[in-house]
Chain A
Amino acid sequence: MNGARTGTLASLRGSIARIEAPSEAAMPNRIALGHTSADAILRGGLAPAALHEVFAAGHQGGAATGFIAGLAGRVSARKPLVWVRQDFSDRENGALSMRGLAELGLDPRLLVTVRAADVDSGLRTAADALACDALGAVVLEIWGDARQLDLVASRKLTLAAQASGVTALLLRIAATPIPSTAETRWIVRAAHSPPGNAASAWGAPRFEAELVRNRHGPVGRWIMEWKCDECQFSEPSAYPQPVAAAPAHRPHQAQARAGHRLAS
């Protein structure tokens, strides 16, 4: 065995070792969300300098905004945040309230809001903002299905984010997911407060977050609670986890339906 072959073998072994490395191994410079199992799936947390998408149904605007504000709060700690939204999203979901943002633990002083007239101008503005490396994150909020937001547009956002190191967060309310270059894609809805006395059980914001796409790892589904004081996500305090088990672990759908038909 000569030296060249030994070298080749060594490098191959190295790459196999890298591939076989446990997925829990944290990637460098990932930003931990605070939710242990989600962070494990994401290999340490949310990747900065990439595009992340959050989808929600039309009536889940409040929860989706809270979730993306949480992500933005995690990735852009003490750095300015630019929030681009369409004119009519104020009417659909209400304007972003600074007091409400402060209640979530984010700093309204670091927020610059841009109202775009339409999707095109929103995309252009977001790309412009992403080019500014002094920012922590750029949130682009687009309501409904937008023809302009295709693979090309999301590629542009991804490239702009990679070039400057600013994280791009795309909030899509009442939209159907279409192929994109996003690093992760989440579908968010509001989750119940923990069971307890109806009159006193208002706790921290809770989200039922489903990770439906993860470019570099598996997906999952969790109940996440936002800790306003620590400005991070966490496992729900009083809920047992299996309530939000991943759909893959459920019994097979066809069987369940067959049983149902027999019974009726």
Chain B
Amino acid sequence: MVAKDHNAILLHAIDEAAVRAGLSIGLPLANARAICPELTVYDADPAADLKTLNDIADWCDRFTPLVALDPPYGLFLDITGCAHLFGGERALLQIVINALSRRGFAVSAAIAGTSIAARTLTRYASGQVIADGAEAEAVGPLPVSALGADPAVTTGLRRAGLKTIGDVASRAPHEISARFGADFTTLLGHALGRGDAPISPRKPLPDYIVEKRFPEPIATDTVIALTLSSLAKTLVAAMEKQGKGARQLEASFFRTDGAVRAIMVETGRPVTRPEMIDRLFRERLDALNDPLDPGFGFDLIRLAAGRTQIVVQQQRDLDTTVHDNDEISAMIDRIAARIGGKRVVVHLPLESHIPERAALALPAQHHLAAASAAAWPERVAGEPPLRPLRLFERPEPIKVPFASVPDGPPHQFTWRRALHAVVRVEGPERIAMEWWKQDGAALTRDYFRVEDAEGQRFWIFRDGLYENELRDEEGKPVPANWYVHGLFA
């Protein structure tokens, strides 16, 4: 593998045969060819590497929910409290190493009390399980390059004659800090089991997880559906003990070949009924563009409640509005599960006099309560509608031949290739743009409500005022642009 670095083509990764031939990573390709003319070269693809690492991390989710990436080639798994499920730490390590080796990856793995110690071990002493407190003696004999510090630091240490981590550790910490910086001292401390750097897991830890493993992979829809409903029951039972309901649910399907498919549904209200979870997932699975592909089968299905909320029990039988609200949010959840939460919206008023900014569309799942309590401007009794029923997101330009008075309404206009003769006019209603927010580029609009000969009613506006805005550099008037912004009923 080669990669381009500052206009030089360097070796990026090499295999064992190349190592035997005397090549090393970082060597220029020209030099490498001189050493070994029959070298086979491929371009490195860091994006694909990262994707593969992510895929492996997905697969590792089966062991613990806390998986962190350590790019470019490493993964941290926090297996606190998980190892016993797989027959102990050593057995777990063996499972990981065997499974990944079978898939053709070169694996080195280790278990230690701190993440940095484990990483240091993987570089030179794969397959070790170090008990808590024994880190210092385990990493002591390893060369300093195992720490994974900055190359300059590693070279500096070697030049100083400190070849192993034990050598470095035997010096007083302040000497090391003074020469190589405090960061390195911290790293060294972590490697020796003194303190730990927290790992940053890829996903937040779900509040509840239930899962089912299968000795024989399953592939039929019926079994998958049955598994999901039994998992839903277990999950709800677990949540019920603490009076909680799920707001976000994720079902993960682990395929035997390592691929993992995660499907998420969100709900507007905490879900407390297994049938509801079941139904939401059924809707979601039905609507998937690329259906769940079991391949050779799933060997693990997991259901996790990502976000939960305490359920407030309400009297259901007597208060019909509570019942109705429940029904509506259940309906919204169902539709959102199928077509996506962003497509189901409620509307909130915004404090803006600009017509297109007067309302905000927000996902109904999360804002239903806010929307039903919103305060919309009251209509003026006795007045005909002042605002159009349908509003174009982007005002559509119309052709206006002339207006009798400069600031007046047009007599006719062409919109969408049809000529409309203006019969009735109301206006102008002058709406200035928000000059305190923008750079002053937006022009003041004069809105007219017009009715054409057929009785259709439009909301049209002229962009700009003749007296001061519609002038070119020399102060001469320029023609105004007209737009239709909405349709009245």
The contact of A191 among B343, B359, B384, B455, by CB within 8 Å, is B455
Within A134-160, the residues touching B (CB, 8 Å) are 134-135
Q: Which of A36-44, A105-113, A176-184 contacts B (4 or more CB under 8 A)?
A: A105-113
CB of A97 within 8 Å of the partner chain:
yes
| B325 contacts across to A, CB distance below 8 A | 134
Q: Check if B487 sits within 8 Å of A114, measured CB to CB.
A: no
Q: Give Cα A226 to B373, complex, Å.
A: 27
Q: Which of A102, A124, A204 contacts B338 (CB 8 A)?
A: A124
Known: A62-B456, A128-B334. A193 touches B451 (CB 8 A): yes
Say which residue of B327, B332, B387 sits within 8 Å of A103 (CB atoms): B387
Q: Are B388 and A100 in contact (CB under 8 A)?
A: yes
Known interface pairs A94-B390, A192-B455, A202-B449; A113-B339 also in contact (CB < 8 Å): no
Whether A202 and B487, one on each chain, are in contact in the complex, defined by CB atoms closer than 8 angstroms, is no
Could you say which residues of chain B place their CB within 8 Å of the CB of A207? 489
Contact status of A97 and B486, CB under 8 A, knowing A125-B335, A135-B328: yes
B85 at the interface (CB under 8 A from A): no
The residue that B379 contacts in the complex, of A65, A93, A102, A114, with Cβ under 8 A, is A102
Do B455 and A229 touch across chains, with their CB atoms under 8 A apart?
Answer: no
- Interface size counted on chain A using CB atoms at 8 A: 67
Size of interface on B: residues with Cβ below 8 Å to A: 61
A124 to B387, CA, bound (A): 32
Q: Does A201 contact B (CB under 8 A)?
A: yes
Secondary structure at the A interface, as helix, strand, loop or mixed, is mixed
Please, could you name 12 A-B residue pairs with CB atoms under 8 Å apart, sorted by A? A60-B456, A65-B390, A66-B489, A95-B392, A97-B486, A99-B355, A99-B387, A100-B388, A102-B377, A105-B379, A113-B346, A193-B451
What is the interface of chain B, defined by CB distance below 8 A to chain A? 323-325, 327-328, 330-332, 334-335, 338-339, 343-347, 349, 355, 358-359, 361, 364, 368, 371-374, 376-377, 379, 381-393, 416, 418, 423-426, 449, 451, 454-458, 486-489
16 further contact pairs, Cβ within 8 A, besides A95-B391, A202-B424, A206-B455: A62-B487, A65-B489, A97-B389, A98-B347, A100-B385, A102-B379, A105-B379, A109-B374, A116-B339, A125-B335, A132-B330, A134-B327, A193-B451, A193-B455, A198-B424, A205-B488
List the interface of chain A (C-beta within 8 A of B). 59-63, 65-67, 69-70, 80, 82, 90-91, 93-105, 107-117, 121, 124-125, 128-129, 131-135, 189-193, 198-208, 226, 228-229
